[in-house]
Amino acid sequence: MEVFYAGNYNENRLYYRKDYDIFFKTINDLSQSYRYFIKTDIKDFFSNIDVNLLFDKIDYRLSKTVTPISQKDLLIYKELIQCLGQGEFPLIENSVASSYLATVIYLEHPDTYLYEFIDNKETEITDFYMVRYVDDLYILFNSDKPENTLTPVINRVIDTYSSELKKINLSLNRSKTTWKKVSEINDELKKSLYYEQFSNKEFYITDLVDSSVLLKFLGQIQSALTNCILDTSKYLEIINSVFCFPNTEYTPDEIFNSLIYEKHQMFGDSEVVDKLFVLFDYDYRFLKLDTKRLMILVLKTKNENLIKQMLSNLFEANRNGVWDIYDTSLAINYLLQRNFRHRDLLNVLKKEEGYVYSYYDLFCRLSFMRTMEVSRKNYIQKFIETIYYKKDDKLFFLYFMYMIELKKRNYLSAFAYYKNFFDRISAHLGLAANKDSTKKGKPNYNNYYKEGVLKTLYGDILGSGNRIRFCKTY
């Protein structure tokens, strides 16, 4: 059995496309050796992943393969994942980690069980091979039984697999789970874009597309714009029409993504630039239908006059008081692509979206890692070792759990964690201020839940007594 996901940690590959192509190539190669295949489809795969079950599997796997992880650390990772996904398994764009966890970890047991079932109990199947890419599983197999008598065999395999998936709260989409002769596998996998077997070089999706396709795309946007029918549904209809290539397995959206994100010179074509000028002259707001991808398209033209015209439209929207959230999105995507190098646009962002600008000012204006490299000091280590006694990670755990429970709106739990955090950090401050410690010079964690002790520690702070009394009351 072979398992592929969106990337490959063993090869230090953090993008999906090559492994996606190798997966197809593997299927195509194996199709020469087998007569039939089963393709399974899991219903709403990512949204139905049970994070608690996932971390049970992680815990079990680590205990069997490497040094076991502490339950506290496991809880932190689990709560962080649930926080990112707002209580569910997070869908993160271009994330190798989430793809690995969902594919290799979560589906390991049902895949292993199914393999052993076919190998040991399904005698009607003479030989087989299983290949998975994320939630798509292909079982290629041979059998000596006549084709018209294979349905009971297939049903046993599918029923067994479905039963195992149910144990982890997943289910098969029966309408999309199918079996066919391997000669029909190209209906499922029309073309692998990885031609190493034949020419020892990768075949890029952009090799399917030239500037005429891009001009057709922009031309249809212009036509819809001038006819007053361009909206989100029409825009998606144009993408699905222009970038549909029947001889490839890739969807129109995937082809458009590759066109936008891969390196090539197509956007610099003079006709493409001229068409974009025409669109901007008519109405720049077509960019708001797809702020990220269309902004990258404009920037990849590297035409200064075109980019200045696009920015001029944003500044005009600001001056006229018609700036909206889509202008904010366009501005953010421009700044991200240009490493935030545009003071005037940043000032507009500061005026229109103060919180967004504050985030930039705090976290993007200067590189945290860069400041550490320049100073050649390990600030984090120094902070932990010199301010807090011997790396008291429990202190940070309590604050982390306070933030998690607060985000969940579990206010009583959040208060409990924060109260413990406050008492614990007070013990550290008491030690640092030489106001209290145990005989061994350690923080006295058992002492700082008392009102009198806290008043002594924080007595120099104006109004601290009333605040402490209020907190102790409630």
pLDDT 10s digits, 455-468:
777 777 776 666 66
Whole-model pTM: value is 0.65
Residue-level pLDDT at 372 = 46
Instruction: Assign 206 a pLDDT band (cuts: 50, 70, 90).
Output: low
The yes or no reply on domain 2-49+89-199 and CATH 3.20.20.150 is no
Q: Is the dihedral of CA 115, 116, 117, 119 positive or negative?
A: positive
Q: Mean pLDDT lowest for which of 316-325, 418-427, 440-449?
A: 440-449
Shortest CA distance to 316 belongs to which of 344, 353, 279?
344
Q: Which two tokens stand for residue 281?
A: 């002259």
Between 375 and 59, the higher pLDDT residue = 59
Q: Which of 29-38, 179-188, 408-417 has the lowest mean pLDDT?
A: 179-188
- CA dihedral angle for residue 403, residue 408, residue 411, residue 414, rounded to 10 degrees: -30
467 half-sphere exposure, CB direction, 13 A CA radius: 9
> What are the domain boundaries of the chain?
2-49+89-199, 205-364, 377-471
pLDDT score of 141: 96
CB 3 within 8 A of CB 111: yes
The confidence score (pLDDT) of residue 192 equals 44
Q: What is the residue type of 89?
A: F
Report the run of H or E that residue 332 belongs to, with start and end. Answer: helix 325-337
Would you state the pLDDT for residue 113? 96
DSSP three-state, residue 167:
coil
| Cα separation values, 297 from 22, 237, 306, 342, Å | 28, 19, 11, 19
pLDDT for 150 equals 94
Average pLDDT of the residues of the chain: 85
Q: For 364-382, what is the mean pLDDT?
A: 54
Instruction: Average the pLDDT over 291-298 and give the result.
Output: 95
Q: Residue 95: pLDDT above 70?
A: yes
Distance CA(93)–CA(97), nearest Å, equals: 11
- Max mean pLDDT among 92-106, 136-150, 349-363 falls in 136-150
Mean pLDDT calculated for residue range 286-301: 95
314 touches 349 (CB < 8 A): no
* Contact by Cβ (8 Å): 155, 26: no
Percent with pLDDT over 70 in the chain: 85
